[in-house]
Structure 1
Amino acid sequence: MSTQWDAIIIGGGAAGLFCAGVAGQLNKRILVLDHAEVLGEKIRISGGGRCNFTNQHSSPANFLSLNPHFVKSALARYPAKDFIKLVQSYGIAYHEKHQGQLFCDHSAQDIIQMLFAECTKGKVEIRNPVSVLSIAQESGSWVVNTSTGLEKSKAVVMATGGLPVPAIGATAYALDIAKQFNLNVVEPRPGLVPLSFTADSFHHLNELAGLSLPVRISSGSKGDRYGACRFQEDLLLTHKGLSGPAVLQASNYWTEGEGIHIDWLGSVEVAGGFNCDALFNDEENRLKTAETILASVLPQRLAKAFAEQKNVLGRKWAEVSKKDRHALKELITNWSVKPAGTLGWKKAEVMLGGVDTKELDGQTMMAKSHPGLYFIGECVDVTGHLGGHNFQWAWASGFACAQAV
């Protein structure tokens, strides 16, 4: 058995590497173990290869958990601005893309190399590929049995992530360890995932594949696991149905059997200067066709499709009854569709659920019933909205844990 470590971190992804670097620079002896041939693969493929490494507006309101207050301590102690300073100190060029989302100008590899550099500063030892065979507590210490031998430590940190993208080695190992030590696990399910639809849901919109526009989308209800949501995001029409950031956001709140609701004019209203009621009651447009009026606030192809669906295509506005106008308005501002399901773990960006936060200390990430056992990052029942928030949780939970070990 090797010399005792201050902490053994299982998982060399975002949370694990960051935690290791911080703890190592606090003069702790840290060992990182990972089963992968190449570390940081999920970082590398994120953000289209440019890594949406944080969101400068990240706050507790951007996270889902059965205990939404759990994230407050960690996010307050290591906010987005602190990680941005670290990125700047390495001279990594970045840009804001949308609503505070920050991406590398060059490559996600810049963030991976920065995490390795931080580990080097902290004299962290990283071993991969190494399989962890078992974890046990013996005489006040933690013993980790690996494919290369036994390791002894004062603490074990589970940072193995979640189930999305099984092709790059994702596993439920952290959840298995939690269950081994009788910690409650909130049932995991795919998050930030495209939704699938039946063909008959889209027979009116089949010709519009490739069309993208900002909408207001609603999903979930008060009685669901995470309640209800409403987002202002871009939606993409595809040959299979709906995709884009709007649908990914809605998927976190969607429950099987429920519908999602789309206000196709939501973004126009938010932009200001537009009154939906006035548009549908505007008599100045009485000689224009219905699709022409709709095209003043919607893409032309979509305006035509909606007019056709309500049998007003080619009709002058003066010829459209108040009843038909109301039906058209209802269709466009409260369009409802029932997804058939999600596209599953292969297409999910994150995992909903995980180790129950009631089992953990929010200031340290340590299991309350097992001193020295920590859980950080995606394996915890904390899931961020789309746009860099999940990386910010990795940094914040990793930092809190590093301070504790």
Structure 2
Amino acid sequence: MSDVRRKTEAARTASKRLATAPAEEKNTALETIARTLREEQDSILECNSEDLRKGEEAGISPALADRLKLTETRLEEMARGLEELTRLPDPVGEVMERTERENGLRIEKVRVPLGVIGMIYEARPNVTVDAAGLALKTGNAVVLRGSSSAYRSNARLVEIIRKSLALTPLPRDAVQLVEDPDREAVREMLHSNGRIDVIIPRGGAGLIQRVVRESTVPVLETGVGNCHIYVDRSADPEMAGRIVLNGKTDRPAVCNAVETLLIHREWADHHLHELGEALLTAGVEIRGCPRTRDRFSRAVPAHDTDWEKEYLDRILAVRVVDSLNEAMEHIDRYGTRHSEAIVTEDAEAARRFLQEVDAAAVYHNASTRFTDGSQFGFGAEIGISTQKLHARGPMGLKELTSCKYRVLGSGQVR
């Protein structure tokens, strides 16, 4: 029996116990994991350091290294995220709708777990804890398959999670890690119909496209983030500068970082040079259209391919446009339906942007960096969906549930 089959079967068995676990047991498990993460901080960071060392030897990019790196602060955020989940209502068993038919039948639409979630992801070991925590809170088992670059970190984290579960009434087999580095293990997960109920990919475009293309298990698709900020003619210069710098430099390697800046020509005439200098000072390379370079000569020429790139780095494509319409047309052509923002004092321009731009999250006078489960009050997220079926945007607890109908009668026949 293959490693994938053995672990998916164990997860399927565990999911049956989890589906009926009371909220108190699930919350106790999350608190126990959070406590053990803090207690085992040194061993986790030691494993992560080894992953980083191997990655540097292999020549990974600074952006990938940032996604891979764990720190005391990031570990504490992971533990707090688990604790925050315990304070959120348990979605399982929630009655979403109630109706009563003329014949006396009472129909209730009730939230239930999905069952077994297969998680295939790259680099970021914090996903290991976030996914496990969200799955446990929603009564789902989870089968994790991270990338080889984070192997030691992921293995240690899952070992700690399973050790913690063994101290609670919940089954430790609820969280599984597929350790086989072979791509065949991913293919087997994608074809584990009957053992995995849904696959969630989280990573670069290549990984996501492969999963969507090859999987026979239903896929909850997360998307890459070619995010835009449009600075309108009426934008407050100080606010615009603050939002753009935050969107690009806070953590350039994450999917909600801004990759393209669109600027109305009238605003650019007066303020682009100052903003460009601030970006360069912050270590950002500006790739500009001809009109951008006319106003800021230190920008390097942008090529057609720059408008469609998710850089995940301190690189920003900048284009000067003539109107809101032109900005929205650019976003419609090149955007990935993730997160888009407008900075403006014009209420009508803001209304049109929020209504007409097709994305999972649209912003007025705020950074795209807020597209995040914890920032939205979800405790954590298992990914950010850019599709439109079942879930869109940061996927928290409710997005990891399905429903069933309870029909209560008193002897009715049709």
Q: Which has the higher strand share?
A: 1
TM-score scaled by structure 2?
0.27
- Looking at both structures, which has the greater relative contact order when contacts are Cα pairs under 8 Å and sequence separation is at least 6? 1
Greater Rg by CA: 1
